Amino acid sequence: MNLVVHPSTLKGKIDIPASKSIMHRALICGALSDGHCIIENSYLSEDILATIHCLEQLGACFDIHQNHISVTGISNIPKSALLDCNESGSTIRFLIPIAAAFGISATFSGKGKLITRPLDLYQKAFAQKGVQFEYTGTLPASIQGTLLPGHYTIRGNVSSQFITGLLFALPLLDGPSTLEVLPPFESKSYVDITLDVLAAFGIKIQSHDNCYQIAGNQRYLPINYQVESDYSQAAFFLTANCLGSQIQLHQFSKSSIQGDSYIIGLLNQIGANPILEDDGFTNQGKDFIGFSIDASNIPDLVPILSVLACFCHGKSVISKVERLKIKESDRIASTLELISRLGGSISYQDDSIVILPCHQFHGAEINSYHDHRIAMAAAIAATRATDDVVILGAECVNKSYPTFFKEYKRLGGNCDAIYLE
């Protein structure tokens, strides 16, 4: 689906959906529990559905309701499983060690860029740990054998998803394990989310100097779990406010375990004055100062922060972005193309994106490269364009936020599906 987005201002109230990062983790913990769980404030996207469908293949049961999901934990472990992870990196990287812990002969498939996103860290981690991992650099990949407890080391600069996958699995093993993360440890905030959710489900993990000590034979407890609203999705609408829209964002608490809640501190820093009242965020301001930030713990915010930087006074620098090359798109290249085609000034050098102010975009045709965060950033940028912005492949928002454009139009955004020759 291609969309033409006409310049418009957004105004009104919006309930931001549940955090995709937390949803993945809560559903997995529920599936690993010995009983029934309720995951409250749930929201379904293609990535979340991929995790649900794979967990069903592993023996869990799900009953989906309007605002919550009932989960019945795995009781009968299959000997083998075919797991289609669609385009979800979280799904495949979280579930490989879990299937290995259960001794399931599993084959993992996917589509899109997931087929080539790296998994080789597990090949190295599983060496002499009881699991044969057949993987040639592209999907499908398969595992056989049962994961053994022991000492694991894994690089911290590729994706924190590998670390999270092992933290899910190692408590299930018949003996203690340690997990050492080799520096630099990037996206640690996502591992902190994992530890928080694991603790809620009764799993105890000790950490010291990027080394985790995990007792074996632990039991995931069946609980009711409330998922926070997603700060990475909120960032799009908070940025829209900086560009002239007037949106109240609802369903937020004053504290969050999400690394992307960093957006609130950044808005304070640049003068956008975010305010949380009655579980709702608003922000305002007109004169924003440029910023310099380290994106190693907030990679999902980079496209929309690049849009925001165009409307700040002075140069902005977003550093530590190298890992964005292996996201749904090469997110460095797609972000640079997004801003450049809209008339902004952006460059990449020495692991940093540099943006100069432009304060106005013009119309353009934007290729989303099937990257949901590029498509949503383009839609927000269109609110400050002088002419129409055409987004190619806009349906990619289904990966994380299927109702994004429905909400965008409800708030006054003017966009229509089109077909290009």
Instruction: Kindly list the catalytic residues.
Output: 300
**Cβ contact 331:320 at 8 Å:** no
Burial 271-308 (b: 16+ CB within 10 A, else e): bbebeeeeebbbbeeeebeebebebbbbbbbbbbbbbb
Residue 17, Cα to own-chain centre: how many angstroms?
Answer: 13
Sole residue written with tokens 């400050």: 384
Long-range contacts of 329-336, Cβ-Cβ distance < 8 Å, separation of 24 or more: 329/113, 329/368, 329/369, 329/370, 329/371, 329/374, 330/369, 331/299, 331/302, 331/303, 331/371, 331/373, 331/374, 334/303, 334/367, 334/368, 334/369, 334/371, 334/374, 335/302, 335/303, 335/306, 335/374, 335/377
For the chain, the distance separating the N- and C-terminal CA atoms, rounded to the nearest angstrom, is 13
